[in-house]
Amino acid sequence: MNILRYLLEKEFRQIFRDPSILRMIFIMPIIQLIILPQAANYEVKNVKIAIVDHDHSTYSTSMIYKITASGYFILTGINDSHLDAMELVERDHADIILEIPAHFEKDLVKESETEVLMSVNAINGMRANLGASYLSVILRDYNQDVRLKWVQLPRFDEVKRLNITSTNWYNPHMNYKLFMVPGILVILLTMVGAFLAALNIVKEKEIGTIEQINVTPIKKYHFILGKLIPFWMMGMFVLSLGLLVARVFYGIVPLGNIGLLYLFSGCYLIAVLGLGLLISTISQTQQQAMLLAFFLMMIFIMMSGLYTSIDSMPYWAQVVTWFNPVSYFIEVVRMIVLKGSTFRDIQFNLGIILIFAIVLNSWAVFSYKKRN
């Protein structure tokens, strides 16, 4: 135990002598948790729309009012021709063109049907799809309003209507920040754990202190524990700091047991730190360690379910997520924070993370070679 205590004392002294590490621990999580959720927004608003109205009737005017009053669209121009509207699209002043044909009102009244043309700028696929979906819903609502206005009671009194009322569980106001903040906190925790642990041993290789440690009678597991425990404690501190920021700035209070969240986070940090230590044992320079850690982090983030649903990915990508520890933690932290899930709900994910922790740390111990 004395050997481990001396190693821990050495590590903490090295950490608090390095201002860059202190900035990563104390400043980076706060700034990123405040800024990133503001930018990582699933809502698409202020879609720019250009309207070509060839009819100029009462019905076309009321439909335009309904579109602009929805709060999702900004009317950038009412044009006389489709070519004029296309110029707005080419100058990036419009995302969607809605063309209302001539005799729109006449065909709607006499023939009970008419058509409108929707042209969507699909360079930004997500914005195009959501904007077109919003506009389609508004046009269907307008169509329904027109049909109900024409219904003559009691002649059509036998027509039945089905009213649908929905209730949003766990996030009743559909606030995307409640969904994004826990996931971003997981990414920050992973970056702090993996990057700092990956750079630690490599730094000692570069400055030459690793040779002094290698000639001492320190066991390999003592050395690995001495590297792992300080960063584990700092990771738990970052978690506490992130939960405090989430509560102060976003009003997010975990519905589940906070102790259960810390239990899973502690096991997850052991796995991530094992990965960082493994990277550091096989890297010779800090640049190699950073590039390898960055490569893995990009895969972990993009295939974690943070921005896109795992169920929407192709099957081969879903198989890759089975080997991504970040995906398990993001799922669990959202379950505990938003749903109030219990130990029974997360026990499978906890078992997977424990397997990651055992495999990665054992691999790191065996990969570290002492040379006398």
Pairing of strands 47-53, 96-100: parallel
> What pLDDT was estimated at residue 193?
81
- State residue 153's pLDDT score: 47
What pLDDT score was predicted for residue 372? Answer: 38
Percent helix, strand, coil in the chain, to 5, is: 65, 5, 25
State pLDDT tens for residues 80-128: 888 888 988 888 888 899 999 888 888 877 777 788 888 888 887 777 7
Q: Give percent of the chain above pLDDT 90.
A: 19
Ordered by start, the domain boundaries in the chain are 8-40+175-367, 47-150
Q: CA angle, 46 as apex, 40 and 47 as ends, to 5°?
A: 100
Q: Round to whole Å and give the CA distance between 136 and 223.
A: 62
Phi, psi dihedral angles at 147 (to 5 degrees) = -65, -40
- What is the model's pLDDT at position 278? 87
**Looking at domain 47-150, which CATH architecture does it have?**
3-Layer(aba) Sandwich (3.40)
pLDDT tens string, the chain, 372 residues long: the values are: 677 787 788 778 877 777 777 777 778 788 888 888 877 666 677 889 999 998 888 888 888 998 988 888 889 888 888 888 898 888 888 889 999 988 888 887 777 778 888 888 888 777 778 888 888 888 888 887 777 776 554 554 555 556 667 777 888 777 788 888 898 899 888 888 888 778 777 877 777 777 677 677 777 777 778 888 888 988 899 899 999 999 999 888 899 999 999 999 999 999 999 898 888 888 888 888 888 888 888 888 888 888 878 888 888 988 989 999 999 999 999 999 989 999 999 999 999 999 999 999 888 878 776 543
pLDDT for 258: 93
How much is the pLDDT for 348?
95
- Tally the C-alpha atoms within 13 A of residue 96's C-alpha that lie toward its C-beta: 26
Cis peptide before 154 (omega within 30 of 0): yes
Sheet holding 73-79, edge to edge: 73-79, 47-53, 96-100, 117-120
Model pLDDT for residues 27-66, shown as the tens digit of each residue: 878 888 888 887 766 667 788 999 999 888 888 888 899 8
CA distances to 70, 136, 160 from 144, in Å = 16, 12, 14
